[in-house]
Chains A and B, each alone.
Chain A
């Protein structure tokens, strides 16, 4: 066990001479590596079997399908009306992104700069929609939206998806706003700029990186958001995740392969978004708002 202290990266960094940790397999590392490998096998198996099946002709009780084809992709496109599904996904995400930034950014400015009575309560209110799981508030929300005729169509899907997105923008933007130097705004105010001008000319340019990060996180979450969209969408307002779920749960008239073809398209879309997202944000940020040191 003593070699842990040598190969341990935290302790390692004291010695300036050596950069890479020494590769010595201690019991802990065996366990850790075993776990990593097992996890990767499950992940690869899960993704891989969807991918292989989507290209397979028939696949029954064998390692590989008997022959490969790309016909399922064309089938899936027409069968599931995917051009409409992708259009809906795009419109919903775009609207949610825009509205949540418009609502969230001004609010986070106030929360970052001002102290006022009731601020704690307001912070709690903005935190709750992230803490409570979507199904719990989604059912009352969908019921309320149906009551006003707002659910079962695009507006309902957009409204429902705003519920976790706006708080998420506020939670991401407030700390970002806090680290901007307020003396810049004060200087502009001294020079006679009003709040509107300060927002447009001083804050906006400084906020672009933060808004990009918040926006991309909202994008990933909205495209992947199943529960809320599922509860509020109608036939012509399904996003891709919901269409995927519905086609899997529908009776077995459809070939499993074309469902998997749709799944692969969804997967590709998510991976592209993820790759774009990782250009702007840290992987950890996709999970929760955490301050990480810049060098990581």
Chain B
């Protein structure tokens, strides 16, 4: 814009510059372009498939009518609707055990001590090995002629081998072997985030160890417990390889992930499979929402420590 331009032409130029300025004030400038690849990625590979799956799940198959026919079929067929219960029956006890059992360990290990890194490294091993390998190992270890049954029979704890594979207990144990380290490491990060001086103060005021734990540590830990439970539950709820290998995938361990998988890859019924996947997501979110609601009833605030 030359200085000699008429005011009439200068006026439209000015708001444009000002507009860019105003946007920049609100944080919108050219650096936002750096976000573009990530946004394209998340829309194309996460949002779009999700919406596509949702629309598939609402598409009736040949012979069915109504947009909810796939969902209606799921809840009408007890072989399928029971998968929700069969999955929760595995996931909730396993997650509860993993989360609650982690607390004393993490409480005890929250400080610094020699060998802490060695212990945490040891715990990371089953997570690194993954569910497939854990299941394979447990099949050998827990089997009728496996080392565990042999040992228990040797020391005369049992007379006949315990049946621990191809049933509930096999899957349950595999959920603990891979889920416990996960829950423990999370809880550990929360317990080390609690300021130790709070407990010392309570101790000075005459609180017993039990009182200190119940009145100081536990309330401060509650949000961490809720988060850990949620994350560990997500993992346990999508139990798939271990249920296939260590359970009875067409009977008692016919979990919801297997149901969705067999519809998609055995019967090629993608509409039904998508509906099952949506039910799976919904049930899971319901459980997490319930846990978070429960958490609200506890103390909310700072833990005063370094982490969290």
Contact = CB atoms under 8 A, between A and B. Distances in A.
A248 B135 CA distance: 10
B148 A45 contact: yes
A10 B134 CA distance: 34
Interface string A103-118: 1101101110111110
A148 to B, nearest CB: 10
A207 interface: no
Nearest to A243: B132
Interface in B185-232: 185-186, 188-189, 192, 196, 199-200, 203, 208-210, 231
A284 B238 contact: no
Contacts of B15: none
B64 interface: no
Interface string B235-269: 10110110011000000000001001100110000
B146 interface: yes
B186 A135 contact: no
A39 B180 contact: yes
B150 interface: yes
Interface residues of A, number: 108
B16 interface: no
A125 B31 CA distance: 20
A191 interface: no
Contacts of A128: 46
The prevalent SS among residues of B at the interface is helix
B116 A296 contact: yes
Interface in B250-297: 257, 260-261, 264-265, 270, 273-274, 276-277, 280-281, 284
Given A143-B53, A162-B45, A245 B185 contact: no
Interface of B: 26-28, 30-32, 34-35, 37-39, 41-42, 45-50, 52-54, 56, 101, 104-105, 108-114, 116-117, 119-138, 140-141, 145-148, 150, 173, 177, 180-182, 185-186, 188-189, 192, 196, 199-200, 203, 208-210, 231, 234-235, 237-238, 240-241, 244-245, 257, 260-261, 264-265, 270, 273-274, 276-277, 280-281, 284, 306-307
Given A11-B203, A35-B101, A284-B188, 14 more contacts: A9-B111, A9-B112, A9-B113, A49-B146, A63-B147, A110-B34, A135-B260, A137-B46, A139-B274, A143-B270, A224-B128, A270-B130, A283-B121, A284-B186
15 contacts: A35-B104, A42-B177, A106-B37, A132-B284, A133-B237, A140-B49, A140-B53, A140-B277, A220-B128, A241-B132, A263-B133, A270-B129, A274-B125, A287-B181, A291-B307
Interface of A: 1-2, 4-5, 8-14, 20-21, 28-29, 31-32, 35-36, 39-40, 42-43, 45-50, 53, 60-63, 102-104, 106-107, 109-111, 113-117, 119, 122, 125-126, 128-129, 131-137, 139-145, 147, 159-160, 162-163, 166-167, 170, 195, 220, 224, 226-227, 231, 241, 244-245, 248-249, 259-260, 263, 266-267, 270-271, 273-274, 278, 282-284, 286-288, 290-293, 295-296
A-B pairs, top 7 by smallest CB distance, nearest first, are: A140-B53, A9-B111, A133-B238, A46-B137, A107-B38, A116-B27, A49-B140
